[in-house]
């Protein structure tokens, strides 16, 4: 029986691949056989490609400021030129700003919404045009626990991740009949730079861990399996899903 999770000869673009979840997913797709292009603002992308595989012609990177709309379009076009085709898009780039809502600076609001939501739409639109022409494609957006509830001191992040969930469903309604599957992964409390303010925080960490049946912080590597699944033919009849990977957090 053919391995339904095999990504050999597939072409994937991953945003936010410079660290954390994006880096883990890029590695997972490559190890499953895909040729990948990583988009990030990081200066460390060349070293990351060597960490994944020191001698592969199937790993590419483009340094790009995705919060700049002209830069984003150029970055996508550069990645597409390197890959020649796009079968898989993973939207993982994001940021976080924490302030009490009454004091939340509008500049921080604009940055979070731009990078976490508008960038996702723009990348989906650019990739979707290519996927519609070829009649197939997989889009994986990174949602959040805050796609389901509001959080504290993160109004922009919560709004952006709620938007990612609804965008995922909307694109499914429009593109599902065109051979494209658009789904989102909603990570639980994963230990990355976005959650560093919470790890060890005496006011927040006990509440997070006590509600997580797995009784631990998640790791970026915990997202590898679901990403390969959603990128592969094993998920061909899954569309518009917001899938929690949260150690059971939403079960309580």
Residue 2 lies in a domain: no
What is the residue range of 113's domain? 11-244
Residue 5 lies in a domain: no
CA distance 220 to 24: 6
Please indicate whether residue 157 is annotated as part of the active site: yes
Residue 160 lies in a domain: yes
Residue 142 lies in a domain: yes
Residue 4 lies in a domain: no
pTM for this prediction: 0.95
pLDDT value for 2: 64
pLDDT digits (tens, 9 = 90+) for 227-243: 999 999 999 999 999 99
pLDDT value for 208: 87
Break the chain down into helix, strand, coil percent, rounded to 5: 50, 15, 35
pLDDT digits (tens, 9 = 90+) for 172-187: 999 999 999 999 999 9
pLDDT value for 69: 98
Give the chain's residues under pLDDT 50. 1
**CATH number of the domain to which 109 belongs:** 3.40.50.720
CA distance 209 to 205: 6
Give the burial class of 210: count Cβ atoms within 10 A of its Cβ; 0-12 exposed, 13-18 middle, 19 or more buried: exposed
CA distance 237 to 252: 28
Residue among 157, 217, 229, 249 flagged as catalytic:
157
Residue 212 lies in a domain: yes
Residue 38 lies in a domain: yes
CA 86 to chain centre: 16
Q: How many domains does the chain have?
A: 1
């Amino acid at each position: 029986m053919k391995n339904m999770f095999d990504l050999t000869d597939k072409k994937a673009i991953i945003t936010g691949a410079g660290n954390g979840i994006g880096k883990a997913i890029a590695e997972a797709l490559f190890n499953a056989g895909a040729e990948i292009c990583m988009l990030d603002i990081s200066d460390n992308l060349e070293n990351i490609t060597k960490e994944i595989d020191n001698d592969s012609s199937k790993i590419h990177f483009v340094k790009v400021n995705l919060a700049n709309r002209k830069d984003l379009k150029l970055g996508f076009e550069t990645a597409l030129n390197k890959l020649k085709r796009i079968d898989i898009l993973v939207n993982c780039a994001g940021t976080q700003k924490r302030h009490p809502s009454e004091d939340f600076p509008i500049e921080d609001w604009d940055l979070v919404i731009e990078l976490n939501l508008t960038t996702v739409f723009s990348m989906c639109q650019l990739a979707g045009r290519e996927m519609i022409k070829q009649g197939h494609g997989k889009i994986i957006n990174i949602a959040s626990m805050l796609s389901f509830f509001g959080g504290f001191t993160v109004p922009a992040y919560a709004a952006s991740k709620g938007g990612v969930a609804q965008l995922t469903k909307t694109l499914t309604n429009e593109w599902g009949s065109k051979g494209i599957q658009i789904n989102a992964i909603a990570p639980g409390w994963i230990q990355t730079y976005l959650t560093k303010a919470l790890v060890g925080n005496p006011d927040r960490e006990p509440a997070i861990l006590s509600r997580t049946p797995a009784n631990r912080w998640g790791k970026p590597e915990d997202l590898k399996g679901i990403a390969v699944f959603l990128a592969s033919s094993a998920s061909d009849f899954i569309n518009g899903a917001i899938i929690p990977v949260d150690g059971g957090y939403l079960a309580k």
